[in-house]
Amino acid sequence: MPNQSQIPGHQIDKHIENFQKTIRGARQRLPSIECAPNTICLGPDVASVRDAMAPGGKINFSIMAIVHGNEVGGLPVLQKILDQILTGEIHLKTTIGIALGNVEAALAGRRFLDRDLNRSFGMGSLDATREGQRARELQNLLERSRFLLDIHQTKEPSETAFFIFPWTRKSFDFAQMISPEMPIVTHWGGSFSQDGMCSDEYVNARGGTGITIELGQNGFTQDQIQIGFSSALHALHATGSADVSNLPGLIVPQAFSRSIYTWHEIIPYPQSGVVSLVPGLENFQHITAGTLIARHDDKNITAAVSGRILFPKYVRAGTPEAEGPKPAELCRIMKTIAQGELPK
């Protein structure tokens, strides 16, 4: 699959332009309201939309893409959902929200412009950065959402699509309702990041149920688009948000079917010196304790435990990552757990 640097910019521009055009058409034809730029709240009738956006109102289900601007696979997923709502193939029963996260970053071909949008929600004081302002806008939708499915992609190849979210029983049950086969990565005892909240964490903190799906390496591929679209249809059905005429199956590699993972080791990224990750690390790749992960100056960095790699951080010359601060982590290593080991 292509890296973001290989995705022609005009493809992204075209997808965003089509989505914005479809939103404008939907506002003219369907009961709807704009709850923030590049978002739309839709419902079966005017009253339900008005009630959802009133003080204390609730949007039953929201779906979002390109919170990270270089994770573009969710764009055609949202487009297909809107198209099928307009054609009547998806018949809404409650209010739903559809949102593009960081359009400016996507148009620039970057993960973010000033700061990570998916670490910017729920901050005590949202700053004047472009992502801080966008987080403030999106929170109007997120804090009203009973359920959220946020569509992401990984930077490096992944052996499987997967759900990832901070542990709550409601989030786990929601993921299982969408697909009991899809592997789940969950964590507890602290936030994913030391900065602001991720979108799913913010929804959970406001009393809703939020989860993220990672489709695979960033780019436009038909298999990932199908996984995202199928997941969205199942989510609409499971939350009682829509009548869906056809619920396609979700195919998961047998090696990962019904698997649950959590952190086993987090390997920090050295903040000085020369760092070089070994080539070819992929998401869900299995490694053993002692495996070489990176070189730091003249020293080896090895895995202390066996498990599966998650989110390896390559900083490649000539990419936006090379221009910014160093990542906090080299990678994470996951362990498999049984459902009985999850928090009560």
Neighbours of 246 (CB within 10 A): 9
pLDDT at 320: 78
Reported as a single tens digit per residue, the pLDDT across 173-222 is 999 999 999 999 999 987 666 678 999 999 999 999 999 999 999 999 99
CB 199 within 8 Å of CB 142? yes
Nearest to 211 by CA among 196, 224, 192: 192
Reported as a single tens digit per residue, the pLDDT across 13-27 is 999 999 999 999 999
Neighbours of 181 (CB within 10 A): 16
Residue range 225-234: average pLDDT? 97
Class of domain 4-254: alpha beta
HEC per residue, 197-260 = ECHHHHHHHCCCEEEEEEEEECCCCHHHHHHHHHHHHHHHHHCCCEEECCCCCCCCCHHHCCCE
Strand partners, 261: 185, 336
pLDDT at 7: 53
Same fold, 4-254 and 262-334: no
Coil/strand/helix, residue 281: coil
Band of pLDDT at residue 277, cut at 50, 70 and 90: very high
CATH of domain 262-334: 2.40.50
Per domain, the residue ranges of the chain are: 4-254, 262-334
CA atoms within 13 A on the CB side of 37: 9
**194, two tokens:** 């030391």
Q: H helices of the chain, where?
A: 9-29, 46-53, 74-87, 103-107, 130-142, 169-178, 199-205, 222-238, 320-323
Is residue 31 predicted with pLDDT exceeding 80? yes
Burial 56-92 (b: 16+ CB within 10 A, else e): eebbbbbbbbbbbbbbbbbbbbbbbbbebbeeebbeb
Which stretch of 61-65, 69-73, 125-129, 302-306 has the lowest confidence by average pLDDT?
Answer: 125-129
Predicted structure pTM score: 0.94
How far is the C-alpha of 22 from the C-alpha of 4, rounded, in Å? 25
CA atoms within 13 A on the CB side of 325: 9
Residue range 255-280: average pLDDT? 96
